[in-house]
Structure 1
């Protein structure tokens, strides 16, 4: 079945929350935070849908410099290019909105995500000690010029 990518709206926040809780059980954003983020003036959120079911999402926000705020794909959909397509779509929207560079933080241990970002042109910018709290872990700061 075909995957459809579209801009998320505040009405999608509950579906985003369902994935958020399953992918980030200890660090999941609240429904209210998700609504604020998705509806934010400087935010661009993109969702991947299969048969009207949200299977992945991501968001970028900022002005000249942007931040890739979040990216998550349902466990059973990983390894099929959904994350790559979401990041490519977010980077295109970031560029179209005037962002010149996008940054992100990723867990040191999250090798699949780090590989995805490196494959899309992000470069390592340094280590941030104890960035994540649940569990405590360092982050790698990455960036890409658009």
Structure 2
């Protein structure tokens, strides 16, 4: 990472999304070229309102929304449902900063893992997940309009063997 990228990252703020962020999140989600079944504004709003089982983050730079993540807590795990960074802001550490905050949240809640699904052709996203030590669990053949998907996970707690 060069000095310019580092300085840029320091000016990015990641915060818990609010209802006022819904239009910007929706716009980002519908501009994502890999999306086939985008989110509705009502769906995003419901996630942000439902603080019990869901979590939504938004990344801002100079007052502009440049990325977001939507996640769900289930079965003692965090399911990353969506993470998007505005196209012209990619490869600058925005996704990494969002992921770090999500992983820190999962650890603080003592969750056992973070898991997600990703298009097999989304190499930049796969490299991001691998940089956090995500592992491949299995492949979904034809999950995304004929394109394969990959289920990935990051274990956060060691499975302890029971000693008898």
Return the TM-score normalized by structure 2.
0.82
How far residue 60 of structure 1 moved from its aligned partner, in angstroms, is 2.0
* Residue 28 (structure 1) aligned to one of 13, 25, 38: 38
Give deviations 1:70-128, integer Å, cap 9, x for gaps. 10000010010000100110111122223211110000000110011011110011101
Query: Which runs of no fewer than 5 residues in structure 1 stay unpaired?
Result: none
What is the rounded CA distance, in whole Å, between the counterparts of 2:36 and 2:119 in structure 1? 14
Runs of 4+ in 1 over 4 A off after TM superposition: none
Query: Which runs of no fewer than 5 residues in structure 2 stay unpaired?
Result: 1-7, 157-164
In the TM superposition, 1:97-116 aligns within 5 A as 97-116=109-128
Structure 1, 20-29 or 31-40: larger mean CA deviation: 20-29
How far residue 15 of structure 1 moved from its aligned partner, in angstroms, is 0.6
Determine the structure 2 residue equivalent to 1:127: 139
Return the TM-score normalized by structure 1.
0.92
1:48 equivalent in alignment to 2:64: no
Determine the structure 1 residue equivalent to 2:148: 138
What is the rounded CA distance, in whole Å, between the counterparts of 2:90 and 2:49 in structure 1? 26
* Residue 80 (structure 1) aligned to one of 84, 87, 92: 92
What is the rounded CA distance, in whole Å, between the counterparts of 2:115 and 2:81 in structure 1? 9
Determine the structure 2 residue equivalent to 1:11: 20
Computing the radius of gyration over CA atoms, which structure comes out larger, 1 or 2?
A: 2
